[in-house]
Chain A
Amino acid sequence: MHISEGILSAPVLISGGALAAAGTAIGLKKLDYDRIARAGILAAAFFVAALIHVPVGPSNAHLILNGLVGLLLGWAAFPVILVALVLQAMLFQFGGITALGVNTIIMALPAVLGYMVCSPFLYKRSALALSAAFACGFLSVLLSAIILGLALVFTEENFFEVSAIVVMAHIPVMIIEGVITAVCVSFFKKVQPAMLPGPSKQKLM
């Protein structure tokens, strides 16, 4: 899912960087600094998840966990994912420093969208909440794959082909991430509601 250095053209890299900077600025504003530890834990989880390869399917894709990060953090997913991507680029040569902006958009934008669509359902009946969490995990990866295809469209030209390949390769990951997100949400609902976004804050304070 990470785009490597030297693949994208300068305009794509620059616009990706600008969008990522804007998202990160909003994220830093909206970050709940009283629960900063939550962001740190999720950044660590995201950082490590990329090392877990899913051996199912045509290519070896890895876990992303952007749906989970987004669902729990909302806009704060931007700075969190950016930090994790910087470390992944430096320590594992995943992606690259110049492609950082684009990669942040690829993974953080679907996370925020997933949050907007799915988080209102988290406090509904448990079946509904679980389906929303599954959908968030599933759709975030799907959307990431589509944005990846979009970013490559200027170099590869055939958007549908590239996107189809990326989406196909990530179908097992989507299902696994959906399940992981649902399991995490049901666990947090029972054990640690403070991890969930939104209303739990008032309950907590």
Chain B
Amino acid sequence: MKHHIPESYLAKPIFTLFLVVCLLWFRIEPADAHLVNLFAWVEGDTVYVESKFSGGRHVNKGKISVRDSRGTELLSGATDEKGEFSFKVPEKTDLKIILIAGTGHRAEWTIAASEIQVPASGKKPVPEEGATLNRIIIGIGCIFGLTGIVAYIRKRKKK
């Protein structure tokens, strides 16, 4: 005997919508947790590093490795509880900062040698907003979902 979902369930748009919403949440959570953002800027003779996961949590005790343009490690360390790390500029070269935050999270940031040569004008770069496309899709999805709900309620009222 074949098992099948009663047709009445599938016919109910609300039920379908509920499923879609559930799926959406399940999709978003892990996707969020797998992005780690790293950014660094020079102020005077010190390089400041900040890091966090895209969900907003700080990277606690993430391993930091600073390398020059040839890939030789100049220094290493770990982020504090706030996901921050700072170090004195070891030499005027391109600095490649690599963060390894465990369970497959890795991010890089490169500071060009030219940025280091002008120590006075240390500017904090604006962190890139990576998930814009995601948000656009979420927004449009919400609007269409809402439209669907209103249309559905109207249809039921009419019957």
Contact status A44-B150, CB under 8 Å: no
Contact status A37-B151, CB under 8 Å: yes
- How many residue pairs, one in A and one in B, have C-beta atoms under 8 Å apart? 44
Which residues does chain A contribute within 8 Å of B148, judged by CB atoms? 40
- The residue on B at minimum CB distance from A91 is B135
B40 to chain A, nearest CB (A): 24
Interface presence of A75 (CB below 8 A): no
Interface presence of A88 (CB below 8 A): yes
Interface presence of B140 (CB below 8 A): yes
Interface presence of A43 (CB below 8 A): yes
Known: A33-B154, A37-B151. A83 touches B138 (CB 8 A): no
Interface presence of B139 (CB below 8 A): yes
Interface presence of B147 (CB below 8 A): yes
Which residues does chain A contribute within 8 Å of B144, judged by CB atoms? 40, 44
Known: A91-B135, A92-B135. A47 touches B143 (CB 8 A): yes
Interface presence of A128 (CB below 8 A): no
Which residues of A from 112 to 135 have beta carbons under 8 Å from B? none
Q: Can you list the 3 inter-chain pairs with the closest CB atoms, starting with the nearest?
A: A40-B147, A91-B135, A87-B139
Which residues of A from 40 to 65 have beta carbons under 8 Å from B? 40, 43-44, 47-48, 51
Which residues does chain A contribute within 8 Å of B118, judged by CB atoms? none
Which residues does chain A contribute within 8 Å of B147, judged by CB atoms? 36-37, 39-40, 43
B159 to chain A, nearest CB (A): 14
Interface presence of A84 (CB below 8 A): yes
Main SS of the interface on chain A? Answer: helix
Contact status A84-B143, CB under 8 Å: yes
Which residues of B from 131 to 151 have beta carbons under 8 Å from A? 132, 135-136, 138-140, 142-144, 146-148, 150-151
A29 to chain B, nearest CB (A): 14
Contact status A87-B143, CB under 8 Å: yes
Which residues does chain A contribute within 8 Å of B139, judged by CB atoms? 44, 47-48, 84, 87-88, 91
Contact status A36-B136, CB under 8 Å: no
Question: Interface residues of B toward A: which range?
Answer: 10 to 19
Q: How far is the CA of A40 from the CA of B147 in the complex (A)?
A: 6
Cβ contacts A to B, 23 pairs, < 8 Å: A33-B150, A33-B151, A36-B150, A36-B151, A36-B154, A37-B151, A40-B143, A40-B144, A40-B148, A44-B139, A44-B143, A47-B140, A47-B143, A48-B136, A51-B132, A51-B136, A83-B143, A87-B139, A87-B142, A87-B143, A88-B139, A91-B136, A92-B132
Q: How many residues of A contact B (CB 8 A)?
A: 16
Which residues does chain A contribute within 8 Å of B135, judged by CB atoms? 91-92
Which residues does chain A contribute within 8 Å of B138, judged by CB atoms? 91
Which residues does chain B contribute within 8 Å of A83, judged by CB atoms? 143, 146
Which residues of A from 11 to 50 have beta carbons under 8 Å from B? 33, 36-37, 39-40, 43-44, 47-48
Known: A51-B132, A91-B135. A43 touches B143 (CB 8 A): yes
Q: How far is the CA of A182 from the CA of B123 in the complex (A)?
A: 44
Which residues of A from 57 to 95 have beta carbons under 8 Å from B? 83-84, 87-88, 91-92
Q: How far is the CA of A91 from the CA of B147 in the complex (A)?
A: 19
Contact status B140-A48, CB under 8 Å: yes
Q: How far is the CA of A51 from the CA of B135 in the complex (A)?
A: 11
A42 to chain B, nearest CB (A): 9
Which residues does chain B contribute within 8 Å of A43, judged by CB atoms? 143, 147
B140 to chain A, nearest CB (A): 5
